[in-house]
Structure 1
Amino acid sequence: MFERLPSNWMLAIKSIGYWFWLISVLGIPMSYYASLHSQYSNAWPWVVVVVVFGVIPVLDFIVGRDPANPDEAVQVPRMEQQGYYRLLSLAAVPALIGMMAWAGWVFVSHDAWSWIGQLGWVLSVGTVTGSIGITVAHELIHKDPSLEQNAGGLLLAAVCYGGFKIEHVRGHHVHVSTPEDASSARYGQSLYAFLPQAYKHNFLNAWKLEAERLKRKHLPTLHWRNELIGWYAVSALFLIAFSLTLGWLGALFFLAQSAVAFTLLEIVNYVEHYGLHRRKLENGRYERTNPTHSWNSNYLLTNLFLFHLQRHSDHHAHAKRRYQVLRHFDDSPQLPNGYAGMVLLALFPPLWRAVMDPRVRAYYAGEEHQLSDSQLTHP
């Protein structure tokens, strides 16, 4: 639909379209108010989940791909300095935390829903805090200013996944698409085999990396300068606040939406790197990360919702590039749909393998040895 528009027009459209994240956040209160006095009261809490994973994949095909890359010499330097894009991502932080707190109050105080409606509510809120919240956090923790670093950490603490701030930047980005990275799914590995080790690795490796950093400063692991202790303390404060104000049901809601959010994150990790590996060189090292080592998805609609997260190939090759100037590369491995559709597909391993395994084999055409048993096993 937009593929023939001039690049300048597309960049202007996207500068406004990045506010689409508000649709997801506002979808939570809208679904609540729609449920009031409705004979389908228990259906409305599911609306956000249905739209994200049922409607958006279809709209991705209809709206089409995004053809626009900013000009490196002129547009990129200017766009990276524009505070508008930074403000846009930072504005999501209070909006998301406010929405989460209000949604917790609804979960506890609204008695018109059965357990079916309550389940849909938790899944919908977790979908928003996982898709928008963690995406914004991911953007912010890769930037140098302390305001953005702390804002990103706060969003991760709000879903009990503060370790991601450390493991993702210092672990995943170093070892991505190698057997050393448990966040890079192996060829033939199902989502349900991937998730437990991803949870475990994120937690343990974050502590290992932070302990190594403190050791270089001649400090013990259990020290007030341990960043993990700080962010897990913030998560504990969230839990205490929900418990004191909303009781045990508030605590349950907070923990449940957190689990949904960080599970969605790890499913996206599964999608982003499934089956792709950096080739091992003759000297025993892995080749440098480049745009061919992550799956790319250039569908415009989801890219607007997710701050260009789907241009993941460029992100891994140039981790500090801001979202508004991330580029699409035609030679990057391409997903057949946006992330929402791919997440849904990953839930059904036979369908996932039927769609994705031929694409992985095509990627390694002539280099089938790269799919050896040694590449399929996590450490």
Structure 2
Amino acid sequence: MFERLPSHWILSVKKVGYWIWLIPVLGIPLSYRESLDSAYANAWAWLVVGTVFGVIPLFDGLIGRDPANPSEDTEVPAMERQGYYRLLSLSTVPLLLGMLIWAGWVFASYDAWNWIGQLGWLLSVGTVTGAIGITVAHELIHKDPPLEQNAGGLLLAAVCYAGFKIEHLRGHHVHVCTPEDASSARYGQSLYAFLPRAYKHNFLNAWALEAQRLKRKGLPALHWRNELIGWYAISAAFLLGFSLAFGWLGVLFFLGQSFVALTLLEIVNYVEHYGLHRRKLDDGRYERTNPKHSWNSNYLLTNLFLFHLQRHSDHHAFAKRRYQVLRHFDDSPQLPNGYAGMIVLALIPPLWRAVMDPRVRAYYAGEEHQLGDSQHVSH
């Protein structure tokens, strides 16, 4: 729909369009309001999760791809200097945290829902804190200013996944698309084989990496300067606050939405690197990460919703680039739909493999041994 429009027009539309993240956030109170006095109260609780994974994949196909790459000589320097884009991402923090607290009150006090409605509410809220909250946190923790680092850490603490701040930067980005990375899915590996290892490894590796950092400073792992202790203390404070304010239902809500959010993150990790591998060089080292080591999904609508997270190829090649100037590369491996649609496919392994395995084999055409080397993880 927009692919033939001039790039500078699209960039102007996107500058405002990034505020589309407000739609799923505001969809939470909207679904509650519509459920009041409704004969279908339970159904309304599923509004956001149903829209994200049922409607957005269709609109990605209808609206089409994002044609705009900013000019490296003129537009990129100007866009990176604009505080507007930084303010836009930081503004998510108070609104998401406010929504989370309010949604916890609803979960604990609203009696029109049975367990079906409560499950829909947990999935909807977790989809927002995962898709918007963790996406923004991912953007912020890659940046140097302490304000952005701390804002990203706070969003991760709100879903009990602060270890991502350590493991993602010092683990995943170092070992991506190698056997050492639990966040890079192997060819033929199902989502349900991938998730348990990702949960376990990424939690434990974050502690190991932080212990190594402190050891180099001559400090023990359990030291107040261990960053993880601080962030997990904030998660514990959230949990205590929800418990005191809303009782055991508050605890269930906070832990439930956290699990949905962090699982959504790991499913996205599965989608982003499935079957892709950095080739091993003659000296035994892996080739340098480049834009061909991540699946790209350049659909305009979800690019806006997810602050260009789908331009993941550029992000892994140039991790410090800000979201507004991430580029699309035609020679990167391309997903056939936006992330929401690909997540739905990943949940159905036979369908996922029917769609994705031919694309992986095409990527490694002439180097089929790469696929054999990748299958060291049980499927």
TM-score normalized by the length of structure 2: 0.99
1:103-125 deviations in Å (ceiling 9; x for gaps): 00000000011111010000000
Residue pair 1:159, 1:262 contacting (<8 A) in 2 also: yes
- List 4+ stretches of structure 1 deviating above 3 A: none
Counting only pairs closer than 5 Å after superposition, residues 305-324 of structure 1 correspond to structure 2 as 305-324=305-324
Letter of the structure 2 residue corresponding to residue 346 of structure 1: A
Structure 1 equivalent of residue 229 of structure 2: 229
Structure 2 equivalent of residue 375 of structure 1: 374
Structure 2 equivalent of residue 28 of structure 1: 28
Deviation at 1:375, TM superposition (A): 1.9
Structure 2 equivalent of residue 133 of structure 1: 133
3-state DSSP of counterpart to 1:37: coil
CA distance in 1, matches of 2:375, 2:130: 28
Deviation at 1:214, TM superposition (A): 0.2
1:48-84 deviations in Å (ceiling 9; x for gaps): 0110000000000000000000000110011001000
Counting only pairs closer than 5 Å after superposition, residues 340-355 of structure 1 correspond to structure 2 as 340-355=340-355
Residue pair 2:189, 2:377 contacting (<8 A) in 1 also: no
Letter of the structure 1 residue corresponding to residue 278 of structure 2: R
Letter of the structure 2 residue corresponding to residue 131 of structure 1: A
Residue pair 1:272, 1:295 contacting (<8 A) in 2 also: yes
Letter of the structure 2 residue corresponding to residue 356 of structure 1: M
CA RMSD of aligned residues (A): 0.8
1:338-377 deviations in Å (ceiling 9; x for gaps): 00000000000000000000000000000011112x4222
Structure 2 equivalent of residue 102 of structure 1: 102
Residue pair 2:134, 2:156 contacting (<8 A) in 1 also: yes
CA distance in 1, matches of 2:126, 2:375: 31
Residue pair 1:211, 1:220 contacting (<8 A) in 2 also: yes
1:248-301 deviations in Å (ceiling 9; x for gaps): 110110000000000000000000000000000001000000000000000000
Letter of the structure 1 residue corresponding to residue 261 of structure 2: A
Letter of the structure 1 residue corresponding to residue 375 of structure 2: L
Deviation at 1:35, TM superposition (A): 0.5
CA distance in 2, matches of 1:3, 1:375: 36
Structure 2 equivalent of residue 150 of structure 1: 150
Residue pair 2:103, 2:125 contacting (<8 A) in 1 also: yes
CA distance in 1, matches of 2:138, 2:286: 25
Residue pair 1:65, 1:300 contacting (<8 A) in 2 also: yes
CA distance in 2, matches of 1:170, 1:38: 49
Deviation at 1:180, TM superposition (A): 0.6
1:285-329 deviations in Å (ceiling 9; x for gaps): 000000000000000000000000000000000000000000000
Residue pair 2:176, 2:184 contacting (<8 A) in 1 also: yes
Structure 2 equivalent of residue 295 of structure 1: 295
Residue pair 1:182, 1:378 contacting (<8 A) in 2 also: no
Residue pair 1:179, 1:376 contacting (<8 A) in 2 also: no
CA distance in 1, matches of 2:371, 2:286: 15
Deviation at 1:378, TM superposition (A): 4.7
Structure 2 equivalent of residue 325 of structure 1: 325
Aligned length in residues: 378
CA distance in 1, matches of 2:300, 2:68: 10
CA distance in 1, matches of 2:248, 2:44: 24
Counting only pairs closer than 5 Å after superposition, residues 56-71 of structure 1 correspond to structure 2 as 56-71=56-71
CA distance in 1, matches of 2:209, 2:42: 45
Structure 1 equivalent of residue 37 of structure 2: 37
Letter of the structure 1 residue corresponding to residue 61 of structure 2: F
CA distance in 2, matches of 1:297, 1:40: 35
Residue pair 2:186, 2:276 contacting (<8 A) in 1 also: yes
CA distance in 2, matches of 1:354, 1:45: 32
Structure 2 equivalent of residue 169 of structure 1: 169
Letter of the structure 1 residue corresponding to residue 84 of structure 2: Y
Letter of the structure 2 residue corresponding to residue 109 of structure 1: S
Structure 2 equivalent of residue 113 of structure 1: 113
3-state DSSP of counterpart to 1:241: helix
CA distance in 1, matches of 2:218, 2:238: 32
3-state DSSP of counterpart to 1:27: helix
Letter of the structure 2 residue corresponding to residue 69 of structure 1: N
CA distance in 2, matches of 1:19, 1:169: 26
Letter of the structure 2 residue corresponding to residue 92 of structure 1: T
CA distance in 1, matches of 2:279, 2:352: 24
CA distance in 2, matches of 1:51, 1:252: 24
1:255 counterpart = 2:255? yes
Structure 2 equivalent of residue 264 of structure 1: 264
3-state DSSP of counterpart to 1:2: coil
Q: Which runs of 5+ in 1 are unaligned?
A: none
